[in-house]
Chain A
Amino acid sequence: MIAYDLSPLFLSLKVATISTILVFFTSLILARFMCRYDFFGKSVIDALILLPLVLPPTVIGFGLIVLFGMNGPFGKLLEDLFGIRIVFSWVGAAIASFVVSLPLMYQSVMAAFEKVDPRWENVARTMGVSEWRIFRTITFPLAWSGILAGLILSFARGIGEFGATLMIAGYIPGVTETVPLAIYFAYEAGEMEKAIFWVIVISAVGVTAITWVNYWRKKNAYRIGRE
């Protein structure tokens, strides 16, 4: 077996982890807000969040370049204020992953929240417990298995993101070379062995994640039980 530089794997894990953490908090806040409040234009915001699900990755990549490119409004702002560069950096890859996995997580969290019987929250309210504590101790734990499924989906989507990532983060070996990019460029260069190596690695990561979730869910379902 030829030894390959493993940096694409670590970069992919880093990008997917960071984007999943961001997606986790963002979608919790969004879903809670959207569940609890009715306002004008709500369905438009809902559609905007879900839009990346139906758009081709190239459109997302294009949009990100326009917004975060060196001459884009956010790109300029971030560079001027903090010296952060989005385009052609791993941060760009994380943003691309974030945008494409947010709708998956948002949908999972919405579905998970809707499954939590409002009577439980109402009982807790009559007991004088604050909304925030109800969320932490009732809503969130009871929605957790659905949220976890969303997290895994988001992580997998983040690790697998290619099209938008290639456009915003480009291909800088060792810096923005995630596993999907490594596979693509290995194939392009005719390095089939290298491509196969990475295909096996990424498949192993996927299988591990799925197995772990299934195991965890079974264990958890047993522990929580049902009323």
Chain B
Amino acid sequence: MLNVDFRKQLEQFELHMQFQMGKEIVAVVGSSGSGKTTLLNCIAGIMQPDAGGISLHGTDFYKESKKPLKIQKRRVGYLFQDYALFPHLSVEQNILYATSRNNDIAHISELTKILDISLLLSKYPHQISGGEKQRVALARALAAKPDLLLLDEPFSALDDETRSRCQSELLRIHELWSIPVILVTHRIEDAQKLAKRCIRIEKGRMTEQLQP
């Protein structure tokens, strides 16, 4: 159970988020600059809220007047908007970056199969296409078996065909792993296709609606 209830002053407005979620996919929509990425950054620990709290399964990520939990300890998978693959590492090294030698990597082999990136493993990020990067980055975000997955505009750079393929892969993985997923997107169609719940942010204020 992810509990989010915090405030953070941004340049133009105050971001105020308050929601709870279980093991479902929640879409967060809103125009650019509305505070969506800040929300993800606060959950991941890259930024800190000003007040309130964030907790996952009873573990406090952030609580007012307490030291925030280190990013490393939050067990959050985060897919950045433009993927942020390590440019000096191969696809395989990117995906296995956080795993040590004696870790069980069966789930990763499965991931590479589901995401159809087995043939890319020896390539470098500058040698693969946008859709391939997106799938590699997703595999990397899931490789450490996170308790929560954050996706920041994961499909924005993809053409229609690749997008719908990636979306069905995401749904399949979610079915298998059943972890909470927050999907930030500015495309209402993506939200409708993937998420049961949808949170809309405008200028830091949120309204929640169930998908019709």
- 13 CB-based A-B contacts, threshold 8 Å: A119-B84, A120-B86, A122-B46, A122-B71, A123-B80, A125-B45, A126-B71, A126-B77, A126-B146, A127-B97, A129-B72, A225-B126, A227-B87
Shortest C-beta distance, B68 to chain A (Å), equals 13
Task: Give residues of chain B (54-87) contacting chain A, Cβ–Cβ below 8 Å.
Answer: 71-78, 80, 83-87
Shortest C-beta distance, B76 to chain A (Å), equals 5
User: Mask for A112-124, Cβ within 8 A of B = 1, else 0?
Assistant: 0000010110111
Measured CB to CB, the residues of A under 8 A from B are 117, 119-120, 122-130, 137-138, 141-142, 224-227
Q: Flag if A123 contacts B88 (CB, 8 Å).
A: no
* Distance of A138 Cα from B44 Cα, bound (Å): 19
Q: Flag if A141 contacts B78 (CB, 8 Å).
A: no
Nearest A residue to B137 via CB reads A123
Q: Flag if B98 contacts A124 (CB, 8 Å).
A: yes
Task: Give residues of chain B (10-68) contacting chain A, Cβ–Cβ below 8 Å.
Answer: 44-46
Q: Flag if B98 contacts A127 (CB, 8 Å).
A: yes
Which of the four size classes fits the interface of chain B?
20 to 34
B135 within 8 A of A: no
B140 within 8 A of A: yes
B182 within 8 A of A: no
- Supposing A122-B46, A124-B98 touch, asked if A224 and B72 sit within 8 A by C-beta, the answer is no
* Distance of A189 Cα from B83 Cα, bound (Å): 65
Q: Flag if A125 contacts B72 (CB, 8 Å).
A: yes
Q: Flag if B124 contacts A124 (CB, 8 Å).
A: no
Q: Flag if B86 contacts A126 (CB, 8 Å).
A: no
Task: Give residues of chain B (87-105) contacting chain A, Cβ–Cβ below 8 Å.
Answer: 87-88, 97-98
* Distance of A224 Cα from B87 Cα, bound (Å): 7
- Supposing A124-B98, A128-B144 touch, asked if A227 and B85 sit within 8 A by C-beta, the answer is yes
B168 within 8 A of A: no
B127 within 8 A of A: yes
Q: Flag if A126 contacts B44 (CB, 8 Å).
A: yes
**Chain B residues near A124 (CB-CB < 8 A):** 86, 97-98
B143 within 8 A of A: yes
Shortest C-beta distance, A146 to chain B (Å), equals 14
Q: Flag if A127 contacts B144 (CB, 8 Å).
A: yes
* Distance of A122 Cα from B43 Cα, bound (Å): 13
- Supposing A122-B71, A126-B77, A128-B98 touch, asked if A225 and B87 sit within 8 A by C-beta, the answer is yes
**Chain A residues near B126 (CB-CB < 8 A):** 225-227
Q: Flag if B86 contacts A129 (CB, 8 Å).
A: no
**Chain A residues near B88 (CB-CB < 8 A):** 141-142, 224
Q: Flag if B86 contacts A127 (CB, 8 Å).
A: no
Most chain A CB neighbours (cut-off 10 Å) among B87, B124, B125: B87
Most chain B CB neighbours (cut-off 10 Å) among A128, A142, A224: A128
**Chain A residues near B46 (CB-CB < 8 A):** 122, 125
Q: Flag if A127 contacts B140 (CB, 8 Å).
A: yes
Most chain A CB neighbours (cut-off 10 Å) among B88, B124, B126: B88
Task: Give residues of chain B (156-188) contacting chain A, Cβ–Cβ below 8 Å.
Answer: none
Q: Flag if A117 contacts B72 (CB, 8 Å).
A: no
Q: Flag if A128 contacts B80 (CB, 8 Å).
A: no
* Distance of A51 Cα from B71 Cα, bound (Å): 37
**Chain A residues near B71 (CB-CB < 8 A):** 122, 125-126
**Chain A residues near B133 (CB-CB < 8 A):** 227
* Distance of A226 Cα from B84 Cα, bound (Å): 11
- Supposing A119-B80, A127-B144 touch, asked if A226 and B75 sit within 8 A by C-beta, the answer is no
**Chain B residues near A138 (CB-CB < 8 A):** 86
